Amino acid sequence: MGRKPKDNTRDGTRGVSRRGFFTAVGAGAIGAAAIGRAETRAASAPPTGEPVKATLRVNGRTHTLLVEPRWTLLYVLRDRLGLTGTKVGCDRGECGACTVLIDGTPRYACMTLALEAEGHDVTTIEALGHAESLGPVQRAFAEEDAFQCGYCTPGQIMAAEGLLRANSRPTLDEIRIAMSGNLCRCGNYAHIFRAVRKAAESRKPEGGVR
């Protein structure tokens, strides 16, 4: 036979006890108050998903488009402007595959909001050269076999480009430090360092990367 139902009242009748009743009512009241507070916060919060007009200057061209405030520069470059040379890696600012230049300085596009880039010059791998006419850093990477799977290569090249724009004759230690924010899962670092040094040596004497 099953267990006999436990008496929940002092007079022996089965049902909800006085203590159980007030406990349930109290829990319901607390829950309702919490929901009310959450709804109040939601109502007072600014609408984060509403697009706003943004003007971005990328690779020398001006683009005006609607951008949600939460969108990253990486997302806008790839999915709104079609510049897929900038790669999605860790998407949390650790691997460097998404590195672009902002006003000549290497930045992680996945950690930069698109709206933060307004009023600045954004440079992606597409601006440095293409298959028929490689830029000096791209050419050096190819000649020194500075890639294997190649997924990190666009970010590596952009980091190297940023370094050479700021320091035309870097030492090996300076190259290592400048490239330390870009991870290569194939472990091809020795070739990457040689490629950066070769790109530096190929510069014109009067300055500027050829």
pLDDT given at position 20? 52
Give a three-class secondary structure readout of 168-201.
CCCCHHHHHHHCCCCCCCCCCHHHHHHHHHHHHH
List the domain boundaries for the chain: 15-45, 128-210
Cα–Cα–Cα angle for 46, 47, 53, rounded to 5 degrees: 110
What would the DSSP string read from start to end of 121-168?
A: EEE-GGGT-BTTB--HHHHHHHHTT--SS-SSHHHHHHHHHHHHHH-S
pLDDT given at position 132? 84
- Ordered per-residue pLDDT tens for the chain, 210 residues: 444 444 444 444 445 454 454 444 444 544 444 444 434 333 333 356 799 999 999 999 999 999 999 999 999 999 999 999 999 999 999 999 999 999 999 999 999 999 999 999 999 999 999 878 999 999 999 999 999 999 999 999 999 999 999 999 999 999 999 999 999 999 999 999 999 999 999 875 544 444
Handedness of CA 64, 65, 68, 70 (dihedral sign): negative
Residues 6+ apart with CB under 8 A from 162: 99, 101, 104, 105, 106, 178
117 half-sphere exposure, CB direction, 13 A CA radius? 39
CA distance 195 to 127: 19
pLDDT given at position 48? 63
The pTM of the full predicted model, rounded to 2 decimals, is 0.74
Going by the DSSP 8-state scheme, the letter that residue 47 receives in this structure is: -
Domain boundaries 128-210, corresponding CATH code: 1.10.150.120
CA distance 179 to 23: 62
